[in-house]
Amino acid sequence: MTTTRRQFLAGAAVAAGTAATSGRALAEGNPENLPPNVAEWSQYLGASVDEAPYGMPSEYEADVVRRSVEWLTASRESSINFTPLYALDGTITPSGVAFERHHGGAPSMNPADYRLMINGLVDKPLLFTLEDLKRFPRVTKTYFLECAANSGMEWRGAQLNGCQYTHGMIHNVEYSGVLLKDILEEAGLKADAKWILPEGADAAGMTRSIPMEKALDDCLVAFTMNGEALRIEQGYPVRLVVPGWEGNMWVKWMRRIEVGDMPWHHREETSKYTDLLANGKARRFTWVMDAKSVITSPSPQAAAMKKGPNVLTGLAWSGNGAIDRVDVSLDGGQNWFHARVQEPRLPKACARFYFDFVWDGKPLLLQSRAIDSTGYVQPTKDELREVRGENSIYHNNGIQTWHVRENGEVENVEVS
């Protein structure tokens, strides 16, 4: 009898959840569960311990999911599913909603058949199994990964109504793995070894040229994410981690690393992921993701604002170091306040900020601006366009504006 009642409740909640396709809608409550009554969940035994061997979020959180923009890409295999930033708090992106970006779909690989090959300008070419990799000294690190195309649709003006779509090509997770440096040194680098070319085992066979200086600095060969094996979407069983640098270089399902003396100039670093300037010339490489921030709530997909005390919150990150300060404006950048940035502020990882204020019901233009440990200040979109022109798609780290209407609804706008 208890089970039947539980299933009925779950069914109703899921129906309410699917009605909300783009944002957060509170499931309808039942006054009979409110004090002084004893709520139904207090009257019956709860779920048994073996009901969910692998736990899932509450059914009332069913709308906190990745979402895609149908018209953005020509196929579903070469596409993007965005992180629901508006519904998250803290800094760690839960694995199940971490944005995914593939160029040839996400392959499911048997780890027993996994091999990593090192070849090219090395003393001894090597072939590692996953077990071999796990015998190198291990490290655990938290880093953000931002696709260079994040906010790309917003170059020419406000486009998409929600930070899931404008800023959701980012995730911030904890990796465990080994230093790429240790693996390269095991193979032995020849004197003219100046570049590496990691290659994916997916149908896209993705490759990127990475300078040896970065490869020997902080790159990781990672096999876990948030404490468990990498998710398939994130490159199971092994991905490259290139801290602070554009997401495209973080090769997933990594099967080979070629060592060379020059960059290869493959597709992903020529016709794609380069920035076309106003004079028709393209910037050659733009590796580092500059400081950027976004207010995740209030924001278009989050619940409408109500008068009185409000918590404004968001994320800030920089590929050049840690977040030093985040400023918040309520009037489109005329006046700025310091937000409370939470500790720890890890380098090349997302920081969470809060700003507490009382809303009087008048329209607002919300903005945030990140300042990193190098002193770099996140620019306005106008400042970016002055330098880069309007042809760009990639590397838009301009300040985002949310317009709060008198009725508390929030929309994506641009102010100049």
Torsions phi, psi for 150 (to 5 deg)? -60, 130
Task: For residue 232, count CB atoms less than 10 angstroms from its CB and return exposed for 0-12, middle for 13-18, buried for 19 or more.
Answer: middle
Among 82, 99, 195, 353, binds ligand MTE (CB under 6 A): 99
Among 23, 87, 101, 341, binds ligand MTE (CB under 6 A): 101
Which residues, 6 or more positions from 22, have their beta carbon under 8 angstroms from its beta carbon? 67, 161, 162, 301
Which one of the spans 97-105, 117-125, 291-299, 377-385 is the region binding ligand MTE (CB under 6 A)?
97-105
Which residues, 6 or more positions from 95, have their beta carbon under 8 angstroms from its beta carbon? 173, 225, 226, 228, 231, 234
**Contact call for residues 323 and 370 (beta carbons, < 8 A):** yes
Which residues, 6 or more positions from 12, have their beta carbon under 8 angstroms from its beta carbon? none
How far apart are the C-alpha atoms of 128 and 217, rounded to whole Å?
21
Among 82, 144, 250, 402, binds ligand MTE (CB under 6 A): 250
Q: In angstroms, what is the minimal distance from the CB of 200 to ligand MTE?
A: 2
**Contact call for residues 296 and 312 (beta carbons, < 8 A):** no
How far apart are the C-alpha atoms of 232 and 272, rounded to whole Å?
24
**Contact call for residues 290 and 320 (beta carbons, < 8 A):** yes
Q: In angstroms, what is the minimal distance from the CB of 156 to Co ion?
A: 20
Among 181, 252, 345, 369, binds ligand MTE (CB under 6 A): 252
Nearest to 63 by CA among 100, 29, 14: 14
In the complex, which residue's CB is closest to Co ion?
Answer: 147
Among 251, 289, 323, 330, binds ligand MTE (CB under 6 A): 251
Identity of the amino acid at 32: E
**Contact call for residues 400 and 367 (beta carbons, < 8 A):** yes
Nearer to ligand MTE, 98 or 351 (CB): 98
Binding pattern for the stretch 130-169 against ligand MTE, x by CB under 6 A and - elsewhere: ---------------x-x----------------------
233 contacts which partner out of Co ion, ligand MTE, none, CB within 5 to 8 A by kind?
ligand MTE
Nearer to Co ion, 147 or 196 (CB): 147
The footprint of ligand MTE on residues 29-58 (CB under 6 A) is none
Nearer to Co ion, 97 or 148 (CB): 148
Query: Helix, strand or coil for residue 61?
Result: helix
247 binds ligand MTE (CB under 6 A): yes
In the complex, which residue's CB is closest to ligand MTE?
Answer: 200
Among 61, 77, 132, 233, binds ligand MTE (CB under 6 A): 233
Among 245, 253, 317, 394, binds ligand MTE (CB under 6 A): 253
Q: In angstroms, what is the minimal distance from the CB of 357 to ligand MTE?
A: 33
Number of H helices and E strands in the chain, helices first, is 6, 23
Q: In angstroms, what is the minimal distance from the CB of 260 to Co ion?
A: 23
Nearest to 313 by CA among 55, 65, 89: 89
Among 17, 67, 87, 102, binds ligand MTE (CB under 6 A): 102
Which residues, 6 or more positions from 53, have their beta carbon under 8 angstroms from its beta carbon? none
Q: How many other CB atoms sit within 10 Å of the CB of residue 132?
A: 14
Which residues are at the interface with Co ion (CB under 5 A)? 101, 147, 247-248
319 binds ligand MTE (CB under 6 A): no
Q: In angstroms, what is the minimal distance from the CB of 69 to ligand MTE?
A: 15
Nearer to ligand MTE, 101 or 352 (CB): 101
Nearer to ligand MTE, 85 or 371 (CB): 85
| DSSP-assigned beta bridge partners for residue 182 | none
Residue located via tokens 């779920």: 47
How far apart are the C-alpha atoms of 282 and 325, rounded to whole Å?
32
Q: In angstroms, what is the minimal distance from the CB of 154 to Co ion?
A: 16
Nearer to Co ion, 120 or 247 (CB): 247
103 binds ligand MTE (CB under 6 A): yes
The footprint of ligand MTE on residues 178-217 (CB under 6 A) is 200, 202, 204, 206
Distances (CA, A) of 394 to 112, 153, 282, 290: 37, 9, 11, 12
Binding residues for ligand MTE, rule: CB under 6 A, are 99-103, 145, 147, 171, 200, 202, 204, 206, 233-234, 247-248, 250-253
